[in-house]
Amino acid sequence: MSHVPPAGIYPPLVTYFNEDESIDYDSVLKHIHHVVKGGVAGLVLQGSNGEAVHLLHDERQELVKRVRQYLVEIGHPDLPIIVGCGAFSVRETLLHIEEAKNAGADYALVLAPAYWVPLMSPDGLKSFFGEVADASPLPILIYNYPDVTGGINISSETIIELGRKHKNIVGVKLTCGDVGKLNRIQCSFAPGEFAGFAGKSDFLLPALVIGTHGAIVGSANAWPFVHAKVSEYFRNGQIAEARELQTKLSHADDALMRIGAVGVKATMSHYFGCGTGRGRRPFGSASYLEYPENLRKPIDEMTVIEKELSGH
């Protein structure tokens, strides 16, 4: 496995649950078949969309093991798996990483510890990520998502310093939506040295323009072929076509993210026959047709395009 994850699109997969809230592994694997056909560069498990905070340690390990085994069975044994391993302490974060590695993970995605927000000054963040990186058995990617970390927003300066000082820090996912920050980070490293990932589909094309490594985006759960097509248009210099499709994707992504992880599952169930819209409490359960028409309309339109691109 390369030190830096391969460039491209990575869906942060949702975790499906049965009615008793046990993990619905069959639906998870069916979903993986869907995104792999779409040409994704790798998979992300146990991120925000995957309800990582709702999973127990043994469930996390079993999920990674089953996904790795399934990738072998369908002829993609080397497809990289990035696993969310964030926790409130250095000790538990490293435990998550060790367990993920033993289960078959290739990289760890690590959030800032959000329980003690006042401790997470730039120096506090450098200390936390540096200690994790130096002891981690897996290369790690910093995960910057202020909405789920009590407003902690890691600066480009801090990320660049960490990436230069700790070679086991190989990338970052920016769900903060700051394209300027992504540009500053990516351009501070030689090509292939550090992986800057866009964290939302609504700025996929701008991220490609500034030379980002790829995208880890929730909408790729449903529309991997669309993301691949935007990327293809850009690579081929078809900027007008890329802008047109990106505009539609931006509207659809906004709607899908507004209905959240449970809504993503409800969408996958409605359109692709994967599982149900069941979340693990305190999340509820949803049916796609329960959502307002103004949210469903851009999702419907994008799904039509996805199916056309996929040949279905």
Give burial (CB, 10 Å; 0-12/13-18/19+) of 77.
Answer: exposed
What global pTM score does this model have?
0.97
pLDDT of 74 higher than 80? yes
pLDDT of residue 110: 98
| 20 HSE (CA, 13 A, CB side) | 1
Give the pLDDT band of residue 1 (cuts 50, 70, 90): very low
Q: What is the mean pLDDT of residues 41-63?
A: 97
- The answer to whether the CB of 199 falls within 8 A of the CB of 215 is yes
pLDDT of residue 312: 75
- How does the average pLDDT of the chain come out, rounded? 97
Q: What are the two backbone dihedrals, phi and then psi, of residue 195, each rounded to the nearest 5 degrees?
A: -105, 105
pLDDT of residue 143: 98
Task: Say whether 81 counts as a known binding-site residue.
Answer: no
pLDDT tens-digit series, residues 121-175: 999 999 999 999 999 999 999 999 999 999 999 999 999 999 999 999 999 999 9
Q: Pick from 139, 137, 108, 96: which is nearest to 2 by CA?
A: 139
Domain 8-224 has CATH 3.30.420.40: no
Q: For 166-288, where are the alpha helices, taking DSSP H only? A: 179-186, 204-209, 224-235, 239-258, 260-272
- The answer to whether the CB of 42 falls within 8 A of the CB of 82 is yes
- 149-157 long-range contacts (CB < 8 A, ≥24 apart) are 149/111, 149/112, 149/113, 149/114, 149/117, 149/120, 150/114, 150/117, 151/117, 152/112, 152/114, 152/117, 152/120, 152/125, 154/112, 154/125, 155/122, 155/181, 156/181, 156/184, 156/185, 156/188, 157/122
Q: Which residues contact 123 (CB under 8 A, 6 or more apart)?
A: none
Q: Which residues are catalytic?
A: 143, 173
pLDDT tens-digit series, residues 266-301: 999 999 999 999 999 999 999 999 999 999 999 999
Give the pLDDT band of residue 89 (cuts 50, 70, 90): very high
Question: Measured between alpha carbons, how far is 204 from 206 in angstroms, rounded to an integer?
Answer: 6
Query: For every residue of 39-67, which 3-state class applies, written as one string?
Result: CCCCEEECCCCCCHHHCCHHHHHHHHHHH
Encoded tokens for 161: 């310093």
Encoded tokens for 298: 């851009």
pLDDT tens-digit series, residues 162-189: 999 999 999 999 999 999 999 999 999 9
Domain boundaries, the chain: 8-224
pLDDT of 256 higher than 70? yes
